[in-house]
Amino acid sequence: MQTQTALLDLSLDELTQLMRDLGQPAYRARQVWEWIYRRYAGDFEQMTDLPQALRRTLAEKTTLRLLTPVAEMVSAGRDTLKVLFRLRDGQTIEAVLMLYDRRRTLCISSQAGCAMGCTFCATAQGGLARNLSAGEIVAQVLYFARYLADPASLPQTGVERPSTVTNIVLMGMGEPMHNYQNVWTALRRLTAAEGFGLGARAITLSTVGLAPMIDRMADEGLQIGLAVSLHAPNDDLRARLVPVNKAYPVDEVLAAVARYTAKTHRRVTFEYALMRGINDSAELAEELAQKIQHLLCHVNLIPLNPIPNSPYQPSSEADTERFVEILRSHGISATVRLRRGIEINAGCGQLRRALAA
Ligand code: SAH
């Protein structure tokens, strides 16, 4: 029912106005806000300190449910959980929860689909459907916060029972900097002390490299981590993998990163998906090292998740090792990302595609 106001899309001021319109005192807005962001209430019945009549009115005129889970998959190790959600207009998005020893990292989406067209990415194949609202971005986090807070709902794992979301990565579907406004409204809500209250440093935004937006992020004054999807050290190769490189070539992206680190003193992560025979040679590792060794950075080498109808395959272990070693020999910090949830299609828009097929 699109006619119901989405409370998660409202700021505290807007919620206060809504309460006023309902003839309620302003403090009711604070109460509801707390129920949503501090106590993770999923419906109005839980809000026991609100008058019954108000709960009914809210349930009639407004909604907290922007997402409906339509498919859930748990990895064999029971440490990765992926959920496909349907939005109110029928679009679908994915989010993935990863349980580590001490971290419970949530990977969320910023758009339904994506317009960037990276040739190795499953999300790109369907194009962009639309931007997510700030509320739809926040709703993904609240869904898993609720899930983790409920001991009965956890996949049984060997790790100590995680009870809350400790880290968020904007590495799901979509290009967060192509939906800048809504993403930053959501990030402020997630980090605000009177909102979800997660430390900004526990959040990482991953971008395809929209250079002007990297500059804009540097001015936000919030310590959100930045990851940049590089995947190749030169324009010829990168434009084949990441078409938006034609608009923002490698040197422009790296210059924006240099300005970003100068301003924020924060180390930037470069993501580099290793593809067999495409971007994994010793020469390219050398070229990459030359390009980035002056930067305050870390390189995260990602074993490629092969996707249907794509010629790209993951690099061999030996080539991956060689690539890491070359970067390290130049004093560059580099690691190979753990493969998580591959068998449940946890990577990159794959569950949505598999179910749509
Ligand atoms: N639009 C953002 C977030 C994309 S998803 C960005 O471009 O950074 C997060 C990371 O996964 C990106 O680095 C993306 O390039 C990478 N990725 C996409 N498809 C992949 C695949 N099939 N295998 C491995 N990594 C992939």
Q: Would you give the distance in Å from CA 114 to the centre of its chain?
A: 13
pLDDT tens-digit map of 2-14? 589 999 999 999 9
CB 148 within 8 A of CB 154: yes
pLDDT tens-digit map of 139-169? 999 999 999 888 777 666 655 655 889 999 9
Mean pLDDT of 42-56: 97
CB 225 within 8 A of CB 266: yes
Closest-CA residue, ligand 1 atom 9, reads 171
Kindly state whether residue 356 falls inside one of the protein's structural domains: no
Kindly state whether residue 355 falls inside one of the protein's structural domains: no
- Are residues 302 and 234 located together in one domain of the fold? yes
Ligand 1 centroid to Cα of residue 121, in Å, is 6
Q: Is the pLDDT of residue 342 over 70?
A: no
**Spatial separation of the C-alpha atoms in residues 54 and 152, rounded to whole Å:** 30
> Given CA atoms 349, 350, 355, 356 in this order, what sign does their dihedral have?
positive
Q: Which residues are catalytic?
A: 94, 348
Label residue 253 by pLDDT band (50, 70, 90): very high
Q: Which of the listed residues 37, 63, 89 is the one where a domain comes to its end?
A: 63
- Are residues 128 and 214 located together in one domain of the fold? yes
Kindly state whether residue 46 falls inside one of the protein's structural domains: yes
Residues in the chain, total: 357
Q: Which of the listed residues 63, 84, 113 is the one where a domain comes to its end?
A: 63
Ligand 1 centroid to Cα of residue 314, in Å, is 14
Closest-CA residue, ligand 1 atom 15, reads 229
Q: Which of the listed residues 63, 83, 104 is the one where a domain comes to its end?
A: 63
- Are residues 144 and 31 located together in one domain of the fold? no
Assign residue 345 a region (left: φ > 0; alpha: ψ between -120 and 50; beta: otherwise): left
Mean pLDDT of 288-302: 97
Kindly state whether residue 352 falls inside one of the protein's structural domains: no
**Spatial separation of the C-alpha atoms in residues 218 and 216, rounded to whole Å:** 5
CATH of the domain at 334: 3.20.20.70
Label residue 357 by pLDDT band (50, 70, 90): very low
Tell me the three state secondary structure of residue 196. coil
**Spatial separation of the C-alpha atoms in residues 166 and 101, rounded to whole Å:** 11
- Are residues 73 and 55 located together in one domain of the fold? no
Kindly state whether residue 283 falls inside one of the protein's structural domains: yes
Predicted structure pTM score? 0.94
Closest-CA residue, ligand 1 atom 10, reads 171
- Are residues 83 and 39 located together in one domain of the fold? no
Per-residue pLDDT, 159: 58
Ligand 1 environment, Cβ below 6 A: 116, 118, 120-121, 171, 175, 206-208, 229, 271, 273, 302, 304-305, 307, 347-348
For the chain, the domain total comes to 2
Q: Is the pLDDT of residue 347 over 80?
A: no
What percent of the chain clears pLDDT 90, i.e. is strictly above it?
Answer: 82
Per-residue pLDDT, 74: 87
Contacts 24+ apart (CB under 8 A), 154-158: 155/74, 155/78, 155/79, 155/81, 155/99, 156/78, 157/77, 157/78, 157/79, 157/99
The whole domain housing 233 covers 67-344
